[in-house]
Structure 1
Amino acid sequence: MEKMTRRTFLKRGLGFLAAGILTASGGYSYARYIEPHMINITRHTIRHRLIPRGFDKFRIVQFTDTHLSDVYTSKDLDKVVQKINQLKPDLIAFTGDLIDKPHLYQDHQRALSALQKLQAPFGKLCVYGNHDHGGYGTNTYKALMEEAGFQVKRNGYERLRLTDGSSIEIAALDDLMLGKPDYEGTLSQLSADVFSILLVHEPDAALEIGGYPVNLQLSGHTHGGQIQLPFFGPLITPPYGKIYTDGMYTLNDTAIYVNRGLGTTRLPLRFLAKPEIALFTLKCAAQK
């Protein structure tokens, strides 16, 4: 259980205050019914000296935190799938929290049908989020995602190779909150001279990877706070999402990207934290 510090107490107080302001000003309808459906496709060019020529313009789409429920339904997921396929990704990565409450969710078949339609020539990868383990959902998530054509990575590693011999490395950690992330066993397999990507649900995992050659970390978990205030940022973010909360950061030689995700949890609201699909285009530093 998270310890209630003075800072946490004040932030939660501000959260309730903001909710009151939204309601009083008529902003509640916007935060409840409009912004949660305003999917923002963000585009990022990742230029690095270790990206080989063969991977120049290689496209990776990350989506995360769908939190499927009665609020965010399989119909919403269908729309996400259409948008992702329109981006023509080479690789798709889902960084956790597929279903909000796995022990209560009933629409697995329609969710499966939507996920099966995702297309990427180099495959579809996914990792566990805390909600995927929660509600006795560990095996359900694995079975559903594998049937949908995803490789479920739980402290996994692989080297993605092209026919020209060039390669990049992809590592994946188990969820930090309810899983068993193996930093040493997983990240020690990375090479210092090969471009590497880490998939992990919680962004603050970056604080533990300083001794390993991770070049790009893709995470979700925070939802960008779901409710942000101008000049203040996210009001409340979950454990392991306190330092890195929304967007791109740099720590040493690691670029850390925190995707705001698509669904909601606890409160079905988004305000100044639009749902997001992220497209990353790799760029060889030697190429113009």
Structure 2
Amino acid sequence: MHHIETTKLSRRAFLKKLARTSFSAALAMAAASGYARWIEPAELTVTHHALSHPLIPKSFAGVKLLQFSDLHLGHYYGLERFYRIMGRINELGPDLVVFTGDLLHEANRYPHVDAVAEALAGVRAPLGKFCIYGNHDHGGYGTDIYRRLMERAGFRVLVNEHALVRRGHGAIAIAGSDDMMLGRPDWSKMTNGIPRATYTIALVHEPDGAIEARRFPIHVQLSGHSHGGQIQLPFIGPLITPPLSERYYEGFYHVGGLLLYVNRGLGTTRVPLRFFAPPELTVFSLTPG
């Protein structure tokens, strides 16, 4: 009799423990998903890096270049948050601003094109504002909508071409490729005519394009597209890497003689979640030598 009672008790204790554990796990899951849905996507990390190279002219010492990427406006990303980010960019006081693609999630369905153009026009960058196409900028009949919007906002849209940015007696080149998924990138056209020994920064939406870009006279490639994997798990890594960002998805990489930087972007795609991959603005300070 005594033996049966012990068995009953231990079974009850076991079931109680199981219920407690299950409840704790469910609670943790709910907390994590709430964090990933509402908290981290609204956070902003500003990362600062120095780019130093012998070909950076002395007149460019201390010049600040700011990169932002992958807003996906309309797709879980509202105007209020967008305005806040534009304000933050101006607070950082960049000399040059580059946008590496994916502005509107579905361009032909987006109702606030004028408001977005106006806010982007308010971004100040004395040495110029440049941008390229991402896959979403071509998608949804977006090609013309995006170009018109960005040109109205004072951005130079680079499609397989480059611009020389001059300061004092020196110049650097900003090159931009067409999108690799829905456009027609042409690396040689993009770099053709850049004077020899000119420090060249290429904007390429998809980071894995570095495998091609490294064959050309490009020193740095700035990319987005990956969202930093959007959801990253310890010991496992990124869960969502779009095509052409599987190899390189966050931060700095050396690809041959090319330095690649992959920005985590600001918005989300596929699912409105971010976990261990907070939205990012990147500020690069140029240093000769």
Instruction: Give the alignment's TM-score, normalised by structure 1.
Output: 0.88
Matched, 1:115 2:120: yes
CA RMSD of aligned residues (A): 1.6
Counterpart CA distance in 2 for 1:182 and 1:70 is: 30
Report the alpha carbon displacement of residue 73 of structure 1 after superposing the two structures with TM. Answer: 1.1
The answer to whether the 8 A contact 2:175-2:203 is kept is: yes
The answer to whether the 8 A contact 2:161-2:191 is kept is: no
5+ residue gaps in structure 1?
1-19
Report the alpha carbon displacement of residue 49 of structure 1 after superposing the two structures with TM. Answer: 1.3
Report the alpha carbon displacement of residue 190 of structure 1 after superposing the two structures with TM. Answer: 3.5
Give the match for residue 199 of structure 1. Answer: 203
Give the match for residue 173 of structure 1. Answer: 177
5+ residue gaps in structure 2?
1-24
Report the alpha carbon displacement of residue 113 of structure 1 after superposing the two structures with TM. Answer: 2.0
Matched, 1:236 2:235: no
Q: Deviations over 1:110-152 (max 9, x none)?
A: 2122111100101111100000000000000000111111111
**1:26 counterpart SS class:** helix
Report the alpha carbon displacement of residue 207 of structure 1 after superposing the two structures with TM. Answer: 0.4
Q: How many correspondences in the alignment?
A: 265
1:93 to 95, 98, 107: 98
Matched, 1:144 2:166: no
Report the alpha carbon displacement of residue 103 of structure 1 after superposing the two structures with TM. Answer: 2.2
Matched, 1:209 2:213: yes
The runs of at least 4 consecutive aligned structure 1 residues that moved more than 6 Å come to 20-23
Give the match for residue 45 of structure 1. Answer: 50
Distance 1:73 1:53, change over 3 A: same
Counterpart CA distance in 1 for 2:36 and 2:131 is: 29
Give the match for residue 262 of structure 1. Answer: 266
The answer to whether the 8 A contact 2:61-2:286 is kept is: yes
Please give the residue correspondences for 1:32-111 in structure 2 after superposition, counting only pairs within 5 Å.
Answer: 32-69=37-74, 71-111=76-116
Counterpart CA distance in 1 for 2:213 and 2:53 is: 19
Report the alpha carbon displacement of residue 22 of structure 1 after superposing the two structures with TM. Answer: 9.2
Counterpart CA distance in 1 for 2:192 and 2:171 is: 17
The answer to whether the 8 A contact 1:59-1:282 is kept is: yes
Give the match for residue 31 of structure 2. Answer: 26
Report the alpha carbon displacement of residue 106 of structure 1 after superposing the two structures with TM. Answer: 0.8
Give the match for residue 138 of structure 2. Answer: 133
- Bigger radius of gyration among the two: 2
**2:284 counterpart SS class:** strand
- Name the structure with the higher helix share: 2
**2:77 counterpart SS class:** coil
Instruction: Give the alignment's TM-score, normalised by structure 2.
Output: 0.88
